[in-house]
């Protein structure tokens, strides 16, 4: 209710009955929402083991970046004198974070699918240690990826520029870490890592995809690489490339989960922007070049150049 006072100011006198009615209605709505969580056909996560934390997953990725590229993203200057301390501290914190998230993911999987889970903590520690054993090898792979990006991009002024600012190297870095956890059969966590990289860069690489040495993604926005994709060495792809699966009937979805659904890209292939390559039986032979906006669902032999015929331009 609004009343105009003599002074010309407008004041509001609230109807307390209306407020009480609103509170009563709100109470009823809250009860209805809570009741809806009991519907077995609507997804909830009640009375299950805790799942990995998205916040902790992001922390793991940021700490991995500091380990893969020491000194690049540190707040303080890293020197030979303080490196052992700084790296040791970072690795210890990373181990604890990774271990706890592996345990959460494993326990959740066991609980969700009613599996025996009597040794999750020991298993989590073993997996985290195995992952740590892989870190030097991942660093070497990333060094080759950076070099491949630099050698193929005249706009890149230095390797440092690529490390700091190229979305392709960030997505590749996250993928190489997530893929190793995928190989170690860690549930959920690798996919959460890859989807974070997807959200940040627009590059969607499933952690199950196998990618060889000296891999380069130029620009990268809109790139999609499916779970069973195999990519060889010295492969370069551009924005908007899809390495995907063919659509099949829904009644074969369970069967599809166990077979190769995505293409194989052999060594030295270049795939230009907007190209779509589909199917588990599709093999792009080594040294081939796939032009922009090409649609491929069949294999091509090594050394093949595949392009769309130039469209006819009309000027009026």
What is the reported pLDDT for 114? 73
**Whole-number Å distance between alpha carbons of 239 and 225:** 12
Q: What is the DSSP letter of 300?
A: B
- How many domains is the chain partitioned into structurally? 2
* pLDDT one-digit tens code per residue, 7-39: 555 555 556 778 888 888 999 999 989 888 888
**Whole-number Å distance between alpha carbons of 87 and 235:** 32
Report how many helices (DSSP H) and strands (DSSP E) the chain contains, helices first.
8, 16
Of 205, 240, 258, the residue that ends a domain is 205
Same domain membership, residue 268 and residue 180: no
* pLDDT one-digit tens code per residue, 43-58: 777 766 678 899 999 9
* pLDDT one-digit tens code per residue, 67-109: 999 989 887 888 888 888 888 999 999 999 999 999 999 988 8
Do 308 and 293 meet the contact criterion of CB atoms below 8 Å apart?
A: yes
| 250: enclosing H helix or E strand | none
pTM assigned to the model: 0.87
Of 175, 205, 235, the residue that ends a domain is 205
Q: What is the DSSP letter of 277?
A: E
Tokens 């090409």 sit at which residue? 294
**Whole-number Å distance between alpha carbons of 34 and 38:** 8
Is the pLDDT at 237 greater than 90? The verdict is yes
Residue 7 domain-assigned (yes or no): no
Same domain membership, residue 58 and residue 193: yes
> Is 85 buried (19+), middle (13-18) or exposed (0-12) by CB count in 10 A?
exposed
Same domain membership, residue 156 and residue 105: yes
The Cα angle at residue 167 between residues 221 and 277, in degrees rounded to 5 = 40
**Whole-number Å distance between alpha carbons of 215 and 147:** 9
Residue 11 domain-assigned (yes or no): no
Query: What is the average per-residue pLDDT within 175-200?
Result: 97
Same domain membership, residue 195 and residue 129: yes
Residue 33 domain-assigned (yes or no): no
Same domain membership, residue 230 and residue 305: yes
Same domain membership, residue 197 and residue 52: yes
Same domain membership, residue 159 and residue 57: yes
Of 143, 175, 205, the residue that ends a domain is 205
Residue 39 domain-assigned (yes or no): no
Residue 213 domain-assigned (yes or no): no
* pLDDT one-digit tens code per residue, 242-299: 999 998 777 766 767 779 999 999 999 999 999 999 999 999 999 999 999 999 999 9
Residue 92 domain-assigned (yes or no): yes
Residues forming beta bridges with residue 154, ordered by sequence position: none
Same domain membership, residue 231 and residue 141: no
Give the domain range for residue 128.
Answer: 46-205
Average pLDDT across the chain, whole number: 90
Same domain membership, residue 181 and residue 147: yes
What is the reported pLDDT for 86? 86
**Whole-number Å distance between alpha carbons of 86 and 109:** 35
End-to-end CA distance of the chain: give it in Å, rounded.
64
* pLDDT one-digit tens code per residue, 128-182: 999 999 999 999 999 999 999 999 999 999 999 999 999 999 999 999 999 999 9
Residue 9 domain-assigned (yes or no): no
Q: What is the CATH number of the domain that holds 308?
A: 2.160.10.10
Same domain membership, residue 79 and residue 191: yes
What is the reported pLDDT for 2? 47
What is the reported pLDDT for 5? 55
Same domain membership, residue 195 and residue 284: no
Strands (E), the chain: 2-4, 10-12, 204-205, 210-211, 216-218, 224-225, 230-231, 236-238, 242-244, 264-265, 270-271, 276-278, 283-284, 289-290, 295-296, 305-306
Query: Which among 269, 270, 302, 307 is positioned nearest to 285, based on CA atoms?
Result: 302
Q: What is the CATH number of the domain that holds 142?
A: 1.10.3130.10
Q: What is the DSSP letter of 255?
A: H
Do 239 and 222 meet the contact criterion of CB atoms below 8 Å apart?
A: yes
**Would you say how long the chain is, in residues?**
316
Same domain membership, residue 56 and residue 197: yes
What is the rounded radius of gyration, in angstroms, for the C-alpha atoms of the chain?
A: 26
Give the tokens for residue 114: 């009613």
Residue 216 domain-assigned (yes or no): no
Put the strands of the sheet holding 236-238 in their side by side order: 216-218, 236-238, 270-271, 289-290, 305-306
* pLDDT one-digit tens code per residue, 218-231: 999 999 999 999 99
């Amino acid at each position: 209710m609004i009343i105009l006072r003599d002074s010309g100011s407008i004041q509001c006198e609230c109807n307390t009955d209306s407020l009480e009615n609103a509170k009563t209605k709100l109470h009823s709505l809250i009860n209805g929402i809570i009741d809806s969580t009991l519907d077995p056909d609507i997804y909830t996560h009640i009375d299950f083991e805790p799942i990995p934390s998205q916040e902790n997953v992001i922390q793991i990725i940021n700490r991995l970046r500091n380990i893969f590229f020491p000194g690049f993203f540190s707040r303080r200057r890293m020197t030979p004198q303080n490196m052992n301390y700084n790296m040791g501290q970072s690795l210890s914190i990373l181990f604890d974070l990774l271990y706890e998230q592996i345990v959460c993911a494993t326990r959740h999987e066991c609980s969700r699918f009613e599996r025996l889970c009597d040794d999750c903590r020991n298993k989590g520690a073993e997996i985290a240690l195995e992952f740590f054993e892989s870190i030097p090898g991942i660093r070497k792979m990333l060094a080759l990826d950076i070099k491949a990006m630099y050698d193929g991009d005249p706009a890149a002024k230095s390797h440092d520029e690529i490390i700091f600012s190229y979305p392709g190297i960030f997505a590749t870095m996250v993928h190489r870490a997530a893929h190793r956890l995928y190989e170690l059969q860690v549930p959920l966590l690798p996919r959460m890592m890859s989807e974070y990289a997807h959200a940040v860069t627009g590059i969607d690489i499933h952690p199950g995809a196998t990618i060889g040495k000296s891999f380069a993604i130029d620009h990268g926005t809109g790139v999609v690489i499916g779970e069973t994709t195999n990519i060889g060495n010295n492969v370069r792809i551009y924005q908007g490339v899809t390495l995907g699966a063919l659509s099949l009937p829904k009644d074969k979805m369970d069967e599809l989960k166990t077979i190769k659904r995505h293409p194989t890209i052999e060594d030295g292939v270049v795939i230009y922007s907007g190209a779509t390559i589909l199917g588990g039986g599709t093999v792009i032979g080594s040294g081939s070049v796939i032009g922009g906006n090409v649609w491929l669902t069949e294999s091509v032999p090594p050394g093949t150049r595949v392009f769309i015929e130039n469209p006819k331009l009309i000027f009026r």
